[in-house]
Structure 1
Amino acid sequence: MSRQRNYRKIIISRTDSIGDVVLTLPLAGLLKKYYPGTSIVFLGQSYTRAVVEACQHADEFIDWKEVSSLPFPEQVKFLHNLQAGLILHVFPVKEIAHLAKRAGIPERMGSTGRLYHYTTCNRLVRLSRKNSPLHEAMLNIRLASGLLPASMIPTEDIPGLFGMSRIKSLPDSLERLIDLNRFNLILHPKSKGSAREWGSPNFAKLSTILPVSDYKVFVTGTAAEGAMLKEEGFFEMAGEVTDITGKMSLDEMISFINTADGLIAASTGPLHLAAALGKVALGIYPPIRPMHPGRWAPLGKRAGYLVADKECSQCRKTGPCQCMLNISPMQVKQKLDSMVNP
């Protein structure tokens, strides 16, 4: 680490999905730890605002869509007026890289994996995500090497760095659904196409073998995902479940996960939210690299995953992953039981 500088503001640019943003929060936590007087600004997409605003390490959220809709001179002026001393291009976007340079941000950090970073960044980090064995959260931290005393920390330290403590109150209509005498379990069967899925029949079967006396089961997802589940006959196959698909904003979803006890999903944003909130978070993964848990496992004090114990890429170019589909509902129940009662 070079001599520590004082930064008035550091911008973290991460304009992709919910899970990616969740796994960037530990980077914000470390920056706050070593630069306590610095404001951390997230540049992201509007649909991740609720995640960032729930994090105690983030001081400001900027909607990239709003900025990018301005005439270019106004974009430059807006970014310049933030008076940031540093921008971290965690999720590289060519337009943002050029904009940051034009706005005169003094230090601009990006990976060597993007050619345009050679002309737009003045601090380059040798980092390849494609073939790296590191977890996504660790890769995000590695990008800030040179800013932190160590660019590698133990994975078990990550759960303490999410900082998701600014959770809004759950609306009464949703809080009334929580059963204080049972384990409140969320099943999130769909992934909006962002991950390989375990399949709605498997989730439905799982719900039938969970003892009603021990578990209250909720099904979450967007309204469109709820419609897909109905088309697939999920609710006819399922046991006793409470359907709350399409009923919550992301703010409310975060609050609901925080109030519930656990969540089961593929590698999705809600899974990473549950892990970050310290809930039982059980992920079901394909063994295909780089989709495998080595890169995308939920990181939390009560997080775990199931994956076929083999190297496999047979389904890389197809939709469903047979190795995932072959994980039985009983295996998932047994893993869940071991996590609920360790």
Structure 2
Amino acid sequence: MANINHLKTPHILISRVDAIGDVVLTLPVAAYIKQLFPNATVSFLGRTYTQPVINTMTSIDAFINYDELKKLSELQQIEYLQKQNIDAIIHVLPNKHIAKIARQAGIKLRIGTTNRLFHWYTCNKLVKLSRKKSDLHEAQLNLVLLKPLGLEQVPSLPEIISHNNFRSKTGLTPALNAVFAGDKFNLIIHPKSHGSGMEWGLDNFAELIHSLPADKFNIIVTGSENEKVLLANWIQTLPSTVQDMTGKMSLNELIAFISKSGGLIASGTGPLHIAAFTGINTLGLFPSLRPIHPGRWAPVGKKAGYMESGTNNLETITPFMVSEKVKTWI
């Protein structure tokens, strides 16, 4: 059986090529690899649009762009991986194509889960892991894949938080800094989720915004370029003091902007997890519906929390409940 535990300076590749929130909750894998192998080189195989998130983790030494890799011929892809001198790959997100070329590139240790048939012939170390049936958090589930590298037990969420070295490397422009109010609590409302989480609804967010005193809260609405169009008419109905930052920031800028704010409210979406990892006050709104319940997807951070509906929707979470929670942040 392949083993790299004897290597003092192994090169270990983490593979996860999906969405921002998923990637954020995979970042602790890098920190724990560094704990197991202090002199390891850790690379992350990800997508172009998640690179800004990956680059904020100081435990990650290099980024490999999957979108660029796919542009090469299959032979060139294999040759590229061979040139990286990778000793082990961890397939955090099962991907048949990546598993195939990792095997063809001769990566010595290839770790995958037992519940993907293609892993049985592309990986040489299989880990029994069923995400849907597990009671572990997503960040913990990702760490289960480190057991072949010597991780003896899955850490608790507070332990994972203590290993966080997530830092923004982007400075804000004067224009973005000017959005913040020095004499108020700067609160980000991120109402949409790109389909990654159950949304609370614009009417609820509007009622929440109207309930927060304008002399104490500087409310900032964020969203992507696509969400800007969806939110434009709604934002016009909000108090004139609300600042519309939808579609105005790159992901690098958004990460830095979030890190300098006081708090953020959202459903289970990427910016929620970014906010939690930066250490600001974070409130996630979740249904009790598997597999999108907070037991699996709650934000992970020193000041992160969540509200759970107790039902399969978010109707029992009221604007008054959220308002009362947010007021404790001041």
TM-score range relative to shorter protein: over 0.9
| Match of residue 318 from structure 1 | none
CA separation in 2, counterparts of 1:210 and 1:234? 16
AA partner of residue 92 (structure 2): V
Structure 2 equivalent of residue 194 of structure 1: 196
After superposition, residues 47-196 of structure 1 pair within 5 angstroms as: 47-196=49-198
- The aligned amino acid for 1:295 is R
Q: What displacement does 1:3 show?
A: 8.5
Task: Write out per-residue CA displacement over residues 152-183 of structure 1, whole angstroms, 9 at most, x where no aligned residue.
Answer: 11211121223112421111110111112211
Letter in 2 for 1:66: E
Whether the 8 Å CA contact 2:279–2:302 is kept in 1: the answer is yes
Residue 326 and residue 255 in structure 1: after superposition, are their counterparts in 2 closer, same or farther (change >3 A)?
A: same
Structure 1 distance, partners of 2:162, 2:6, is: 25
SS at match of 2:169: coil
Q: Deviations over 1:66-95 (max 9, x none)?
A: 101111100000011110100000001000
Determine the C-alpha separation between the residues in 1 that align with 2:220 and 2:4.
Answer: 51
Instruction: Tell me how far 1:39 sits from its aligned partner.
Output: 0.9
Note if contact 1:42-1:58 (Cα within 8 Å) is conserved in structure 2: yes
* CA distance in 2 between partners of 1:47 and 1:8 (Å): 27
Report the counterpart of residue 317 of structure 1 in structure 2: none
The answer on whether the counterparts of 1:45 and 1:65 sit within 8 Å (CA) in structure 2 is yes
Q: RMSD across aligned C-alpha pairs, in angstroms?
A: 1.5
Q: TM-score when scaled to structure 1?
A: 0.92
Taking the aligned partners of 1:100 and 1:3, their CA distance within structure 2 comes to 16
Structure 2: 5+ residue stretches without partners = none
Which residue in the other structure is 1:250 paired with? 251
Report the more deviating stretch, 294-303 or 168-177. Answer: 168-177
- Partner deviation per Cα, 1:103-159 (whole Å, 9 max, x = no partner): 000000000010000000001001111111110000000111131342311211121
Which residue matches 1:329?
A: 319
- What's the CA shift for 1:239? 6.3
Deviates more, 1:324-333 or 1:281-290: 324-333
Number of equivalences: 327
* Cα distance in 1 for residues equivalent to 2:239 and 2:295: 31
Do 1:25 and 1:163's aligned partners in 2 also have CA atoms closer than 8 Å? Answer: no
8 Å CA contact 1:8, 1:83 repeated in 2? no
CA distance in 2, matches of 1:156, 1:235: 41
Alpha-carbon distance in 2 for matches of 1:104, 1:140: 24
Kept in 1: contact 2:18–2:46 (CA 8 A): yes
SS of equivalent to 1:284: strand
246-255 vs 327-336, which moves further: 327-336
Q: Indicate conservation of the 8 Å contact 1:113/1:126, yes or no.
A: yes
Which residue of structure 2 aligns with residue 240 of structure 1? 241
| 1:290 alignment partner in structure 2 | 291
Runs of 4+ that moved beyond 6 A: none
Residue pair 1:279, 1:302 contacting (<8 A) in 2 also: yes
The change in CA–CA distance for 1:226 and 1:166 in structure 2 (over 3 A counts) is closer
218-227 vs 276-285, which moves further: 218-227
Deviates more, 1:152-161 or 1:169-178: 152-161
Partner SS for 1:236: coil
**Fraction of identical pairs, as percent:** 42
Write out per-residue CA displacement over residues 11-38 of structure 1, whole angstroms, 9 at most, x where no aligned residue.
0000000011100111111111221111
**Alignment check: 8 A CA contact 2:309 2:315 kept:** no
Cα offset, 1:230, TM superposition: 2.1
- The residue that corresponds to 1:271 in the other structure is 272
Question: Paired residue for 1:14, among 13, 16, 29?
Answer: 16
Residue type of the alignment partner of 1:243: D
What TM-score, normalized by structure 2, do the two folds share?
Answer: 0.96
In structure 1, stretches of 5+ residues that fail to align are 314-320
One-letter code aligned to 1:56: T
In 2, Cα distance between the equivalents of 1:160 and 1:214? 31
Q: Which one-letter code corresponds to 1:277 in the other structure? A: T
Q: Which amino acid aligns with 1:85?
A: D
**Maintained 8 Å contact 1:12/1:41:** yes
Partner Cα separation in structure 1 for residue 194 and residue 268 of structure 2:
11
Structure 2 CA distance, aligned partners of 1:230 and 1:254? Answer: 22
Structure 1 letter corresponding to 2:38:
P
* CA contact 1:189–1:221 (8 Å) conserved in 2: yes
Cα distance between partner residues in 2 of 1:221 and 1:262? 15
